[in-house]
Amino acid sequence: MSFSRTKFKILSLIATIIWYLEILCGISFLSLFLASANFRTQIVVMFPVSFSQTNIMSIKAVNINIADARLDSYAGFLVFHLESSWQNVALMTIVYAICIGIVIFITYKIKQIFKNFETDKNFIKSNLNHLRVIATIIFVIPILQFVFTLIANKFFQTNLAIGKFVTLSPSLNYTLLFTSITLFAAIEIFKLGIELEEENKLTV
């Protein structure tokens, strides 16, 4: 039992260190992005695409409110150079902050689980809730990415003179989906463990 507690204590410490590093790196990245936005005239935004046999091509915007793009088929990206206005900087900052926040939040939940394990609180409802939140987030992310890609394809085809030969890659991240399904299965095992432990307490 003492060996298991020591092991979970080490894992809890590692998760805590990673969590603090993620916060530090996230704040540093957002600070550097905001600082550099004051000196740069443009912000580069890239989207992965599937495309035909075209190397590098300039794509004109049909909508005057949308920036022109460049298709770089060697790298496989549709590249936009947006004006470094406060609106674009604020939007990019929000997007980056949400992405970083999700990673930090998941790590925090993992840290809390190991913290409970460290004190022999294994089959408790808080661990079940932490796992359920993590599994739900991991399950939703690839679906949102897929939906966003479909919407972005429609948006680009409407506002850019790209024709039918350039589309973003609308693929699901099956690794994340499999991970979330595995976690949901682990949740059911945890749920069973909690029920058995509660029954044992009532019996005693």
DSSP for 50-82, written as a single string = E--S--EEEE-BSSTTS--EEEETTTTEEEEEE
Rounded to 5 degrees, what are φ and ψ at 71?
A: -95, 115
The domains of the chain are located at 2-40+86-203
Residue-level pLDDT at 167: 63
The DSSP 8-state label assigned to residue 167 in this structure reads E
Rounded to whole angstroms, how far apart are CA atoms 187 and 25?
Answer: 31
The tens place of each residue's pLDDT in the chain, 204 residues long, gives 566 677 778 888 899 999 999 999 999 999 988 888 777 777 878 777 765 445 556 676 666 666 667 666 556 677 777 777 778 888 889 999 999 999 999 999 999 988 888 777 767 788 889 999 999 999 999 899 888 888 877 777 777 766 665 666 667 788 888 999 999 988 888 888 777 777 776 665
Mean residue pLDDT across the chain: 80
Rounded to whole angstroms, how far apart are CA atoms 149 and 147?
Answer: 5
Residue-level pLDDT at 154: 78
Category of 166 on φ-ψ map: left (φ > 0), alpha (ψ -120 to 50) or beta: beta
Residue-level pLDDT at 118: 78
Percent of the chain whose predicted confidence (pLDDT) is above 70:
76
Integer CA distances (angstroms), 29 to 11, 22, 123, in order: 26, 10, 38
Q: Which DSSP helix (H) or strand (E) runs through 168? A: strand 167-168
Q: At what angle do helices 86-118 and 2-37 cross, to 10 degrees?
A: 170
Q: How many CA atoms lie within 13 A of 91 on its CB side?
A: 10
Rounded to 5 degrees, what are φ and ψ at 45?
A: -125, 130
Residue-level pLDDT at 204: 54
Residue-level pLDDT at 39: 78
Of residues 171, 16, 184, 19, the one with CA closest to residue 100: 19
